[in-house]
Amino acid sequence: MDKLWSPWRSNYIQSFKHKSDNEECVFCSVQQLDINNDESLVVYKSDLCFVMLNLYPYNSGHLMIIPYRHISDIEEITKEEFAEITKLITLSKKALTDLMKPQGFNIGANIGKAAGAGIDQHIHFHILPRWIGDTNFMPTIGEVKVISQDLLETKKELVKVFAEIG
Protein backbone atom coordinates (compact mmCIF):
# COMPACT_ATOMS: atom_id res chain seq x y z
CA MET A 1 0.00 0.00 0.00
CA ASP A 2 1.29 3.48 -0.89
CA LYS A 3 1.26 6.10 1.85
CA LEU A 4 0.86 9.82 1.39
CA TRP A 5 2.06 12.09 4.15
CA SER A 6 0.49 15.40 5.07
CA PRO A 7 2.99 17.27 7.26
CA TRP A 8 0.89 20.43 7.09
CA ARG A 9 -1.73 18.76 9.32
CA SER A 10 0.69 17.97 12.15
CA ASN A 11 2.11 21.50 11.92
CA TYR A 12 -1.44 22.84 12.22
CA ILE A 13 -2.20 20.69 15.26
CA GLN A 14 1.08 21.66 16.95
CA SER A 15 0.41 25.35 16.28
CA PHE A 16 -2.19 25.42 19.07
CA LYS A 17 -0.59 26.27 22.38
CA HIS A 18 -2.12 24.42 25.29
CA LYS A 19 -4.68 26.71 26.89
CA SER A 20 -4.29 27.39 30.56
CA ASP A 21 -7.35 27.51 32.81
CA ASN A 22 -7.47 31.32 32.70
CA GLU A 23 -7.49 31.58 28.90
CA GLU A 24 -10.89 31.59 27.25
CA CYS A 25 -11.76 28.86 24.79
CA VAL A 26 -12.12 30.09 21.20
CA PHE A 27 -15.52 28.35 20.88
CA CYS A 28 -16.76 29.88 24.14
CA SER A 29 -15.70 33.37 23.06
CA VAL A 30 -17.04 33.17 19.49
CA GLN A 31 -20.50 32.01 20.59
CA GLN A 32 -20.97 35.40 22.26
CA LEU A 33 -20.65 37.27 18.95
CA ASP A 34 -23.55 38.26 16.73
CA ILE A 35 -23.90 36.11 13.60
CA ASN A 36 -23.64 39.22 11.40
CA ASN A 37 -20.28 40.19 12.94
CA ASP A 38 -17.50 39.67 10.37
CA GLU A 39 -15.16 38.71 13.24
CA SER A 40 -17.20 35.53 13.70
CA LEU A 41 -17.58 32.51 11.44
CA VAL A 42 -20.82 31.46 13.20
CA VAL A 43 -23.57 30.78 10.64
CA TYR A 44 -26.42 29.51 12.84
CA LYS A 45 -27.40 29.49 16.51
CA SER A 46 -29.85 27.15 18.18
CA ASP A 47 -30.86 26.67 21.82
CA LEU A 48 -28.03 24.38 22.98
CA CYS A 49 -25.52 24.44 20.11
CA PHE A 50 -24.28 26.56 17.23
CA VAL A 51 -22.82 26.02 13.75
CA MET A 52 -19.71 27.74 12.47
CA LEU A 53 -17.28 27.52 9.57
CA ASN A 54 -13.89 26.01 10.32
CA LEU A 55 -11.14 28.65 10.14
CA TYR A 56 -8.77 25.94 8.85
CA PRO A 57 -11.08 23.97 6.54
CA TYR A 58 -10.30 20.77 4.70
CA ASN A 59 -12.73 21.92 1.99
CA SER A 60 -14.92 24.91 1.23
CA GLY A 61 -17.99 24.78 3.45
CA HIS A 62 -16.32 22.79 6.27
CA LEU A 63 -18.70 23.32 9.20
CA MET A 64 -18.52 22.51 12.90
CA ILE A 65 -21.46 21.88 15.23
CA ILE A 66 -20.54 22.98 18.76
CA PRO A 67 -22.45 22.78 22.06
CA TYR A 68 -22.51 26.05 24.01
CA ARG A 69 -21.42 24.22 27.16
CA HIS A 70 -17.65 23.96 27.53
CA ILE A 71 -17.22 20.18 27.60
CA SER A 72 -14.48 18.04 26.11
CA ASP A 73 -15.83 14.50 26.14
CA ILE A 74 -18.71 12.91 24.26
CA GLU A 75 -19.79 11.24 27.51
CA GLU A 76 -20.61 14.68 28.95
CA ILE A 77 -23.15 15.53 26.23
CA THR A 78 -26.75 15.49 27.48
CA LYS A 79 -29.52 13.72 25.57
CA GLU A 80 -30.97 17.12 24.68
CA GLU A 81 -27.63 18.39 23.37
CA PHE A 82 -27.05 15.22 21.38
CA ALA A 83 -30.53 15.49 19.83
CA GLU A 84 -29.79 19.09 18.84
CA ILE A 85 -26.33 18.19 17.49
CA THR A 86 -27.96 15.54 15.30
CA LYS A 87 -30.62 18.03 14.16
CA LEU A 88 -27.93 20.61 13.31
CA ILE A 89 -25.83 18.06 11.40
CA THR A 90 -28.91 17.28 9.30
CA LEU A 91 -29.71 20.98 8.86
CA SER A 92 -26.08 21.71 7.94
CA LYS A 93 -26.10 18.92 5.35
CA LYS A 94 -29.23 20.43 3.78
CA ALA A 95 -27.75 23.96 3.82
CA LEU A 96 -24.50 22.78 2.22
CA THR A 97 -26.39 20.69 -0.33
CA ASP A 98 -28.61 23.64 -1.31
CA LEU A 99 -25.68 26.05 -1.54
CA MET A 100 -22.73 24.01 -2.77
CA LYS A 101 -24.15 20.85 -4.36
CA PRO A 102 -21.51 18.45 -2.94
CA GLN A 103 -21.40 14.83 -4.05
CA GLY A 104 -20.84 13.46 -0.54
CA PHE A 105 -20.06 14.31 3.08
CA ASN A 106 -17.68 13.39 5.89
CA ILE A 107 -19.32 13.71 9.32
CA GLY A 108 -17.62 13.06 12.65
CA ALA A 109 -15.67 14.23 15.67
CA ASN A 110 -12.04 14.08 16.75
CA ILE A 111 -12.02 13.36 20.47
CA GLY A 112 -8.64 14.28 22.01
CA LYS A 113 -5.33 15.52 20.57
CA ALA A 114 -4.24 11.99 19.64
CA ALA A 115 -7.33 11.71 17.42
CA GLY A 116 -6.47 14.93 15.58
CA ALA A 117 -8.52 17.45 17.54
CA GLY A 118 -6.92 20.86 17.06
CA ILE A 119 -9.11 22.23 19.85
CA ASP A 120 -9.59 19.34 22.25
CA GLN A 121 -10.94 21.28 25.25
CA HIS A 122 -14.38 21.89 23.66
CA ILE A 123 -16.06 19.03 21.82
CA HIS A 124 -17.27 19.76 18.30
CA PHE A 125 -18.53 17.79 15.31
CA HIS A 126 -17.41 18.29 11.72
CA ILE A 127 -19.42 18.15 8.53
CA LEU A 128 -17.35 18.40 5.36
CA PRO A 129 -18.83 18.63 1.89
CA ARG A 130 -16.94 16.44 -0.58
CA TRP A 131 -16.65 16.29 -4.34
CA ILE A 132 -15.12 13.63 -6.53
CA GLY A 133 -11.56 14.73 -7.23
CA ASP A 134 -11.42 17.30 -4.39
CA THR A 135 -8.13 15.89 -3.12
CA ASN A 136 -4.86 16.48 -4.92
CA PHE A 137 -1.10 16.61 -4.44
CA MET A 138 -0.93 20.16 -3.02
CA PRO A 139 -1.19 19.32 0.72
CA THR A 140 1.33 16.49 0.42
CA ILE A 141 3.93 18.02 -1.90
CA GLY A 142 3.41 21.75 -1.40
CA GLU A 143 2.30 21.65 2.25
CA VAL A 144 -0.65 23.84 1.26
CA LYS A 145 -4.38 23.23 0.89
CA VAL A 146 -6.18 25.11 -1.85
CA ILE A 147 -9.60 26.40 -0.78
CA SER A 148 -11.40 27.97 -3.70
CA GLN A 149 -13.92 30.09 -1.79
CA ASP A 150 -13.49 33.06 0.53
CA LEU A 151 -14.55 32.17 4.11
CA LEU A 152 -16.43 35.43 4.72
CA GLU A 153 -18.39 35.13 1.45
CA THR A 154 -19.18 31.50 2.21
CA LYS A 155 -20.32 32.54 5.69
CA LYS A 156 -22.67 35.22 4.35
CA GLU A 157 -24.21 32.77 1.86
CA LEU A 158 -24.63 30.08 4.53
CA VAL A 159 -26.25 32.51 6.99
CA LYS A 160 -28.89 33.25 4.32
CA VAL A 161 -29.48 29.58 3.56
CA PHE A 162 -29.73 28.64 7.27
CA ALA A 163 -32.22 31.50 7.80
CA GLU A 164 -34.36 30.18 4.94
CA ILE A 165 -34.36 26.50 5.96
CA GLY A 166 -33.80 26.71 9.74
Query: Which residues are marked as active site?
Result: 124
Query: Nearest 5°: CA angle at 12, between 6 and 14?
Result: 110
Query: Nearest 5°: CA angle at 13, between 158 and 19?
Result: 90
Q: In sequence order, what are the residues at sequence separation of 6 or more whose Cβ sits closer than 8 angstroms to the Cβ of residue 166?
A: 44, 91, 95
Rounded CA separation 10/109 (Å): 17
Tell me the HSE value of 22 on the side-chain side, using a 13 A CA sphere.
0
Q: Which H helix or E strand runs over 128? A: strand 125-130
Rounded CA separation 27/24 (Å): 9
Amino acid of residue 119: I
Amino acid of residue 86: T
